[in-house]
Amino acid sequence: MTIAKYLWEIGSIIFAFLGSIHLYYTFFTNKFYSRNEKMVQEMKTSFPILTKDTTMWKAWIGFNASHSSGIIFIGILNCYLAAQYFSVLQSDHFFFIFNILTICFYAFLGKKYWFKIPLTGILIVLACFIVSYISTIVN
Q: What is the pLDDT of residues 31-65, one digit of tens each?
A: 999 999 999 999 999 999 999 999 999 999 999 99
State yes or no: pLDDT of 1 exceeds 60.
no
Q: What is the per-residue pLDDT for 89?
A: 85
Predicted local confidence at residue 90, as pLDDT: 87
> What's the whole-model pTM score?
0.90
Helices vs strands, H then E, count in the chain: 5, 0
d(C-alpha 78, C-alpha 62), whole Å:
24
- Where are the domains positioned within the chain? 3-138
Those residues whose C-beta lies under 8 Å from the C-beta of residue 76, and which sit 6 or more positions away, are: 12, 16
Residues 92-111 pLDDT 10s: 899 999 999 999 999 999 99
The packing angle between helices 3-28 and 56-89, to 10°, is 170
Rg (CA), the chain: 18
